[in-house]
Copies of this chain bind each other. A is one copy, B any other.
Amino acid sequence: MKKVLAGQSDVGYPAGMDTTPAVQACSPTAGRRERKKQRTREALVDSAFRLFAQKGFEATTVEEIADAVDVSSRTFFRYFASKEDVLLTFQDEQFTAMKEAFAARPADEPVITALRRASVSVVRACEDGEFGFDPERFGCIQHLMESSPAVFGSSLEHGQKKHAEMTRLMAERMGVDPATDVRPHVVAAVVNGVFHTAFELFSSDILGAERFSDVLSELLRSLEDGINFPAAAVETSSPS
């Protein structure tokens, strides 16, 4: 189990970092203006997470979020396109980490296998707070997705936006051209779907799994064997 994480120490995260990784990392000589902007952004995210956790997603208004940081709600919308958008920051970080972990998988692993090992390692990192991830926020998002359809919906959309990139990654590893070969598209779609289903299975507590990563792992594993299962009442003749 833990073994999956073994080869992943080189995922690409600097060892020591405080709660605001992006500030220093993004632009070393960016000047005060840039830093101020980053601080405001981080403050808004913080404020949003706190209020969401406290009162729920739809119950908190952007005005409250902005007021808590002492900026106008107009400013909030200059940083985030929508209320949901605040949460996507986190998912973006996850996705980036996932890409890196995926790229680091040994070349002899088939796509789904590599994807499973990579994504499970990243999710575990989120759960355990490794590599600068905040398990509090991870849990908060999970809770919000359960309770608020709007959040889950925006997560779906966000996943879709990443679809093209995913497809490219798959195509690269498979060494095929996504413009002529549908298979990388299929793989990307499938994985995206399985991610969200993993979450639903986890939160609806079927399987009684302790951790999201375990559900995800199991689902992806089942993908590796092919899924065109025979119908029930039929002799086990292999599908044509």
Contacts and interface: CB of A to CB of B under 8 A. Distances in A.
Interface string A198-240: 0011000011000000000011001111111111111001010
A175 B222 contact: no
A224 B190 CA distance: 13
Contact of A234 (B107, B201, B222): B107
Contacts of A107: 231-234
Contacts of A201: 182, 185
How many chain A residues sit at the interface, stated as a range, is 35 or more
A109 B237 CA distance: 10
Give the secondary structure class of A's interface. Answer: helix
Contacts of A139: none
Interface stretch (A36-44, A59-67, A156-164): A156-164
Interface string A167-186: 00000111110111011011
Interface in A101-138: 107-114
A228 B222 contact: no
A102 to B, nearest CB: 11
Contacts of A186: 194, 197, 219, 222-223, 227
Contacts of A187: 227, 229
A153 interface: yes
B231 A173 contact: yes
Nearest to A176: B232
A231 B160 contact: no
B183 A193 contact: no
A141 B207 CA distance: 38
A192 interface: yes
A156 B219 CA distance: 21
A35 interface: no
B113 A228 contact: yes
A138 to B, nearest CB: 21
6 contacts: A113-B228, A114-B231, A153-B160, A186-B197, A190-B190, A225-B226
